[in-house]
Amino acid sequence: MESNVCTGCNRPDLPWAGRGTSLPISGCRFTLYPMTDGFIDIILGALEQTDTSAVWSETDALSTVYRGKLPYVADAVKALFINAYREGVHMALEGQFSKGCPGDIAGDSQLDREGEAPNAKSLEGKHFPVHCKLALYPMGDASYIDEIARVWYMAEDSGLQPKTIHYATRIEGDVQDVFRYLEAVCELMENSEKVHHYVLHFTMNCNSPTVEE
C-alpha cells in the first residue's frame, strides 16, 4: 500500500484507491531555462516551431505539463528543448516524467493520437552535447532494485557514462541519445508488471560555462 501512493501531488483529501495507476496517461512537467536576456523570445520561438497537437498541455508561472501517450509526450518535450537551442547560449531543462499516480484523474489528456510523433522528422539531424542528471522513483515494486540496476546498465550500454553523484545519477551524451534513454527508462517502468507508479526527475543542460576536470 504505502509505495502505491503518490507523494508528489500531496493530496490528503483524495481517495487513495489506486485508480490512477490504471490510467493510460503519461505526463511530463518541465521548465526551460535559457540563461539569457532573450529567454522569452527563445521559449516562444521554440513553442512556435514545436507541434504540440499530440498532447494535452497546461502552462503556469513555474512550469508546463504535457499529458498523453508517452511517445508523444517525450517527442514534444524533446522538440521544445532542441528548438530552443541557440549556439553558445547556456540553457537548462528541468522535468519529471510520471505515470500511474493513484490520485491521478482521467481528464487533462490526449489519448486518441496514432502514428509517427509529429516532431520526429523536423528533429532529425539535430545534435549537440548535453549534461544530464536523473533520479528515478519506481513505486510499488517489491524488487525494484532490479529495475534500478537495469536502468543503470542501460545507460552504460547506451554509452552515456553513468556516474553516481549525491542524490542523483549523472549521464553525458548527445541530446538525441539522452532523450532516447530517458524515454526508454519510462517505457521500462510503464511496461513493468511490478511498478504501478513511477516518477523520473531529470535536469539537462547545454553550453554550460562550467569546466569539469
**If binding is defined by CB under 8 A, does position 133 make contact with a second copy?**
yes
Measured from the CB atom, is 115 or 209 closer to a second copy?
A: 209
Q: Residue written as cell 491521478?
A: 104
Measured from the CB atom, is 58 or 116 closer to a second copy?
A: 58
Site for a second copy in 87-116 (CB under 8 A): 90, 92, 94, 96, 98, 101, 104, 108
Rounded distance, CA 183 to CA 154, Å?
12
Q: Report the SS3 class of residue 17.
A: coil
Q: In the set 15, 48, 62, 125, which binds a second copy (CB under 8 A)?
A: 62
Q: Residue 115 CB, nearest distance to a second copy (Å)?
A: 25
Is there a contact between 127 and 85 (Cβ–Cβ < 8 Å)? no
Tell me which amino acid residue 39 is. Answer: F
Q: Residue written as cell 549521464?
A: 171
Q: What is the DSSP string of 89-130?
A: --EEEEEEEEE--TT--S-S------SS-TTHHHHTT---EE
Measured from the CB atom, is 87 or 114 closer to a second copy?
A: 87
**If binding is defined by CB under 8 A, does position 184 make contact with a second copy?**
no
Q: Which stretch binds a second copy (CB under 8 A): 68-76, 118-126, 151-159, 175-183?
A: 151-159
Which grid coordinates belong to 175?
A: 541530446
Which grid coordinates belong to 61?
A: 508561472
Q: In the set 70, 80, 117, 151, which binds a second copy (CB under 8 A)?
A: 151
Q: In the set 50, 83, 119, 169, which binds a second copy (CB under 8 A)?
A: 169
Which grid coordinates belong to 60?
A: 503556469
Measured from the CB atom, is 86 or 122 closer to a second copy?
A: 86
Site for a second copy in 7-36 (CB under 8 A): 7-12, 16, 27, 29, 31, 33-36
Q: Report the SS3 class of residue 79.
A: helix
Q: Residue 58 CB, nearest distance to a second copy (Å)?
A: 8
